[in-house]
Amino acid sequence: GKHAIEATRLTVICAQEGDRQVIRVADNGRSELSDAEALSSAETNRERETNEELNFQIQHSGMGTQLAKNLAKQLGGTFRRYPNKPRGIVCELTWPAKRRWFW
């Protein structure tokens, strides 16, 4: 996407993980998330990861993200973006493996 700067690899995984279907797309590009790495060293790793994901969600919420969130809602699932360690971005769409076919 437009945020994958200098990406040389794209990994796409479509699988069932437990009771969830998952589509996960990861790149190895450079992103603005590297600035978030400068968070206070007093924070725990989990707090830093949560803050990085939140900052990223706020900065990168375009039309594609909105479409993915709408699809997730229709499927009864979730869409999220988070940093790919050590570099890049992961976009992940998950939904229940067993769908109810009534509305």
Does residue 27 fall inside a structural domain?
yes
Does residue 103 fall inside a structural domain?
no
Q: Give the chain's residues under pLDDT 70.
A: 1-3, 31-61, 99-103
The residues, any chain, with a CB within 8 Å of residue 22's CB and separated by 6 or more, are: 13, 14, 15, 16, 92, 93, 94
Structure tokens at 83: 């940093």
Does residue 59 fall inside a structural domain?
yes
Does residue 90 fall inside a structural domain?
yes
Does residue 58 fall inside a structural domain?
yes
How far apart are the C-alpha atoms of 77 and 84, rounded to whole Å? Answer: 21
Contact call for residues 25 and 12 (beta carbons, < 8 A)? yes
User: What pLDDT is attached to residue 38?
Assistant: 29
Provide the residue range defining the domain that includes 29: 10-96
User: What pLDDT is attached to residue 59?
Assistant: 55
Q: For residue 91, list its beta bridge partners.
A: 25, 81
**pTM, to two decimals:** 0.66
3-state helix, strand, coil in the chain (%, to 5): 35, 30, 35
User: What pLDDT is attached to residue 51?
Assistant: 60
User: What pLDDT is attached to residue 5?
Assistant: 82
**What's the total number of domains in the chain?**
1
User: What pLDDT is attached to residue 65?
Assistant: 87
How far apart are the C-alpha atoms of 91 and 80, rounded to whole Å? Answer: 6
Q: What is the CATH number of the domain that holds 74?
A: 3.30.565.10
User: What pLDDT is attached to residue 64?
Assistant: 86
